[in-house]
């Protein structure tokens, strides 16, 4: 299986899940560009969901790991979804954790506008570095919903992380949902939220689960599903793998 982490985290966020799955799973987790040990191109200013999906496809090719179960969180979940519908031959199943596809939630428009104001205020008060701190504290509204749950050992920091944050903020809002492909998706998927997932992200996840073929919405206990509820998530990963 291939794991794609959320914004402001590193691949270390998957350690708890790897421990729960044990030797029965070949789990591959990598730092996406700009996070953890992964450098970003010098000209890196903005990324897209499609670009992140292409990177995941390249990792699968390098590891000769396709087809694989994809497990993604946040932007990583959306990138996994993109790869699943556009390159189905590479994917045997998906576990999509708190995908922030707010296009499914008309009421989110105002929340996104408020979040954009919070980003501008954070930069004005303390620079771009302050915006990363606010993000990790969950202080950028719906854009950073749940980020405060990222465990300290898996939190990204430093100039590269600041650059990556601003490169990613517009990635999911700018993604054009391939609704036609959703309805004929071949791989089984579970869309996962926690009992304390932000209400708008929960609603978006429900909307995705209804639009995506062979998909169901599942709820874990409170906390970050792939860290605080790793045993529950491991059971869901096995369920998807066995239904592929």
The CATH number assigned to the domain holding 71 equals: 3.40.50.1820
pLDDT at 68: 97
The tokens describing 136, both together, are: 């990790």
Q: How far apart are CA 76 and CA 84, in angstroms?
A: 12
Mean pLDDT value across residues 41-62: 90
Determine the 3-state secondary structure of 215 from DSSP: strand
pLDDT at 168: 95
Q: How far apart are CA 155 and CA 36, in angstroms?
A: 8
> Counting Cβ atoms within 10 Å, is residue 89 exposed (0-12), middle (13-18) or buried (19+)?
exposed
User: Does any domain span residue 68?
Assistant: yes
Q: CB neighbours of 67 closer than 8 A, spacing ≥ 6?
A: 89, 90, 91, 92, 244
Nearest to 104 by CA among 47, 173, 151: 173
What is the pTM (predicted TM-score) of this model?
A: 0.96
Q: How many Cα atoms are found within 13 Å in the side-chain-facing hemisphere of 72?
A: 27
User: Does any domain span residue 112?
Assistant: no
Q: How many Cα atoms are found within 13 Å in the side-chain-facing hemisphere of 84?
A: 34
User: Does any domain span residue 131?
Assistant: no
User: Does any domain span residue 33?
Assistant: yes
Distances in Å between the Cα of 160 and the Cα atoms of 45, 165, 211 are 11, 9, 36
Tell me the pLDDT tens digit for each residue of 90-135.
999 999 999 999 999 999 999 999 999 999 999 999 999 999 999 9
pLDDT at 39: 85
- For residues 162, 168, 170, 171, the Cα torsion angle rounded to the nearest 10 degrees is 180
User: Residues for the chain: how many in total?
Assistant: 244
User: Does any domain span residue 121?
Assistant: no
pLDDT at 43: 67
User: Does any domain span residue 142?
Assistant: no
Structural contact between residues 13 and 154, judged by C-beta atoms closer than 8 angstroms: yes
How many structural domains are present in the chain?
1
Mean pLDDT value across residues 132-155: 97
Whether the per-residue pLDDT at 16 is higher than 80: the answer is: yes
User: Does any domain span residue 172?
Assistant: yes
Mean pLDDT value across residues 71-87: 97
pLDDT at 65: 87
Tell me the pLDDT tens digit for each residue of 197-237.
999 999 999 999 999 999 999 999 999 999 999 999 999 99
pLDDT at 143: 96
Mean pLDDT value across residues 31-44: 85
Mean pLDDT value across residues 55-63: 95
User: Does any domain span residue 91?
Assistant: yes
Range of the domain at 179: 2-105+150-243
Whether the per-residue pLDDT at 169 is higher than 80: the answer is: yes
Q: Identify the band that residue 24 occupies on the pLDDT scale cut at 50, 70 and 90.
A: confident
């Amino acid at each position: 299986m291939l794991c794609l982490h959320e914004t402001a985290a590193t691949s270390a966020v998957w350690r708890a899940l790897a421990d729960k799955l044990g030797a029965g799973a070949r789990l591959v987790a990598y730092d996406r560009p700009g996070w953890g040990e992964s450098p970003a191109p010098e000209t890196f200013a903005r990324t897209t969901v499609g670009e992140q999906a292409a990177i995941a496809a390249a990792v699968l090719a390098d590891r000769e790991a396709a087809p694989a179960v994809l497990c993604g969180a946040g932007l990583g979940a959306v990138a996994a979804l993109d790869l699943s519908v556009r390159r189905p031959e590479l994917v045997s199943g998906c576990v999509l954790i708190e995908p922030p596809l707010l296009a499914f939630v008309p009421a989110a428009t105002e929340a996104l506008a408020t979040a954009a104001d919070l980003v501008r205020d954070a930069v004005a008060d303390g620079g771009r570095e302050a915006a990363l701190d606010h993000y990790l504290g969950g202080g950028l509204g719906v854009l950073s919903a749940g980020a405060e749950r990222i465990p300290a050992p898996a939190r990204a920091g430093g100039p590269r992380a600041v650059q990556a944050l601003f490169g990613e903020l517009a990635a999911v809002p700018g993604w054009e949902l391939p609704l036609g492909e959703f309805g004929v998706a071949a791989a089984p998927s579970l869309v996962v939220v926690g009992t304390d997932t932000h209400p708008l992200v929960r609603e978006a996840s429900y909307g995705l689960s209804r639009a995506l073929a062979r998909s169901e919405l599942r709820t874990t206990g409170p906390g970050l599903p792939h860290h605080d509820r790793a045993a529950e998530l491991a059971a869901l990963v096995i369920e998807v793998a066995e239904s592929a």
